[in-house]
Structure 1
Amino acid sequence: MKSTDKHAASQVATVTQKSFTQGMTALILTSALSVLAFSSSVQATVQNAQLSQQHAPCVDNKWPKSRLLSLAGSQFEMTDADRNDMVMRLISCLADTDPELRDAVAFSGLSHWLRANDLTNETVKSLYTKLSGDVRKRKDDPNGVYLPFAILTLSEVARVDRVSPFFEPAERDALSKLAADTMAGIQDYRGFDETIGWRHQVAHSADLLLQLVLNPALSSDDIMELVTSIQHQLSPAGHFYVYGEPERLARPVLYAMLRDDIPDSFWHSQLARWSTPVHIEGWDKAFSSNAGLAERHNRRAFFSALLLGISGSKQPRLLALQPAIQAAMKKLP
């Protein structure tokens, strides 16, 4: 190659290298800006992804029981970032057999933050996704404590939407249907245990119904479906309610009775169903078996709770239904 050719080739190589370097610099700068723009989105969704993972440990070296109890003692005061990160740990604690961790820390903490509006909307939405998914799948632990407390915590999420609506209509409808299906499908009637504490799936499901019944965004059809689901749990076969379940079941019914968009005919039909035994041939058989005695016991407790809730009330809707409730209760021995 001639010297001139070598010189020209050298110039071309220099220019090419310079262009390549400039191009790479621009590409790196553009990529860096894209990463910076994308990172905030990633950071905002990391904790949402965490909520879909398997349960994190409730207690570990970083958060022993003593520190969790101290957190509860401080009214769950934390920085915003720490608080939203702590949600996953408290969900795990909902499955702990230690009632202090489950009740005093996990549920109390989540309830406190939800009612104080201390969690981001993204965290609340993710909490709803996690809990509703677990409740829909009937996900539970071997001791049967997680599911009832997932339902109870879900009622607190429903309360957030009732006070400051953030669900899309389809999400709210899905939650209402899930609540009705959950109530109708209960098969665990355990209440309080001296060691493990509360399970109380019936009462906690009633609390979920209550928050939904109180929500004016639900249609009358939604409310009637929720009320109808209670029929399945008024008197489980052979089981005597002794932990206040009838009173809890009566609460959403009483508030549903205040709705002026539900016809009286619906309530009369429900009262007829509620006063009809399903585990014995008729009320004349009530004292001949434990099944009959349990059904009488549970239904009388439910009607008594309804009438007690109406007594002293000045609500026209409740007062108008009071004679029908009294007549229905008189059908019971």
Structure 2
Amino acid sequence: MIDWIAVADADCAVPAAPPMTDLVRELSRALADPDPLIRDGAPYTVLATWIARGTIEESRRLELGDEMTARFDDPRTEARTFAPLVLDMLVRAGDFKAGWVDAFERWYPAERDLRGHDATLGWLHAVAHGADLLASFGRHPEVAPARMLNLAAARLTAPTDHVYDQLEDDRLARAIALVLTRTDLSEGEAVGWLDPIADRFGADRISTPVPAHISNCLRTLRLLHLLADRGVRPTSEQPAQPLAHRDAVKSGVATVLDRIVKR
């Protein structure tokens, strides 16, 4: 067993043994461990650093991505919800396979365990982790941005009794805004993904207490309206970027919000 804390403390220097294939295999297992101190601790730091630095060879990184897509079908919530984090590391480092998008598209709106945090398992964050990957795919040149916008709409309209409680709405709104910075989006694509949201929620009278799925949607769209107005930062170090078709997006979001809350 590798002491990953010691590896992280040594600036993620590669241990002399075992071979890299075995090291990555152990890190992959750690990123699905039910113990949050393992899953979200030093192994996460080491894997993210090695991927960013190109320490792991490309063929093994692609295999790792395939392992993560298979993990979307894992019976354990913590395994499923940390898979998009690893895929996001890979995509941001320049790795990509079309099958990863397909697998993510199947999982994201279908995930039912939307808890942000669990007292025993630690961070789960299916919506937030998925949102980060949605943003990376949505900005990738080989992925049609409208496809990821439609996926965001599918996540927002999926039935749930869980109210987002750990800023998942903010993460999803930011992801949508980042996709909407794509300059190759048509105006119709930039606002068309809102139609199923309006159709799903606009015809219903809002009861009290407000249903979880409607609360999640309202809060996400409200922040998106703000980001459309002010722009969105890809990272905290970068300046805000404007959304394509800014005024149309603001108008479209406002119209949907009005339709949902109208009595």
Deviation at 1:80, TM superposition (A): 7.4
Counterparts in 2 of 1:102 and 1:153: CA distance versus 1, 3 Å: same
Aligned to 2:238: none
Structure 2 CA distance, aligned partners of 1:295 and 1:145?
A: 22
Aligned to 2:89: 156
Q: What SS class does the counterpart of residue 243 from structure 1 fall into?
A: coil
Are 2:257 and 1:329 aligned?
Answer: yes
Q: Which has the larger radius of gyration?
A: 1
Structure 2 CA distance, aligned partners of 1:315 and 1:156?
A: 24
Aligned to 2:246: 319
Q: Which structure 2 residues correspond to residues 161-310 of structure 1 after superposition, within 5 A?
A: 161=94, 167=96, 172-218=97-143, 220=144, 223-235=145-157, 236-278=159-201, 282=204, 285-288=205-208, 290=209, 292-310=210-228
Structure 2 CA distance, aligned partners of 1:205 and 1:227?
A: 13
Aligned to 2:74: 139
Structure 2 CA distance, aligned partners of 1:204 and 1:316?
A: 22
Identity of aligned residues (%): 21
Deviation at 1:102, TM superposition (A): 0.6
Counterparts in 2 of 1:243 and 1:252: CA distance versus 1, 3 Å: same
More displaced, 107-116 or 234-243?
234-243
Structure 2 CA distance, aligned partners of 1:250 and 1:316?
A: 12
Counterparts in 2 of 1:241 and 1:118: CA distance versus 1, 3 Å: same
CA RMSD across the alignment: 2.4
Counterparts in 2 of 1:129 and 1:253: CA distance versus 1, 3 Å: same
Structure 1 CA distance, aligned partners of 2:126 and 2:243?
A: 32
What residue ranges of structure 1 are gaps of 5+ in the alignment?
Answer: 1-61
Does the Cα contact within 8 Å between 1:286 and 1:295 map onto a contact in 2?
no
Structure 2 CA distance, aligned partners of 1:276 and 1:242?
A: 25
Letter in 2 for 1:253: I
Are 2:16 and 1:94 aligned?
Answer: no
Which structure has more relative contact order (CA 8 Å, sep 6+)? It is: 2
Structure 1 CA distance, aligned partners of 2:16 and 2:81?
A: 28
After the TM superposition, list the runs of 4 or more consecutive aligned residues in structure 1 that deviate by more than 3 angstroms.
79-83, 275-278
Q: What SS class does the counterpart of residue 275 from structure 1 fall into?
A: helix
Question: Between Structure 1 and Structure 2, which shows a larger proportion of helix residues?
Answer: 1
Q: What SS class does the counterpart of residue 260 from structure 1 fall into?
A: coil
Counterparts in 2 of 1:277 and 1:80: CA distance versus 1, 3 Å: farther
Structure 1 CA distance, aligned partners of 2:139 and 2:191?
A: 21
Q: What SS class does the counterpart of residue 141 from structure 2 fall into?
A: coil
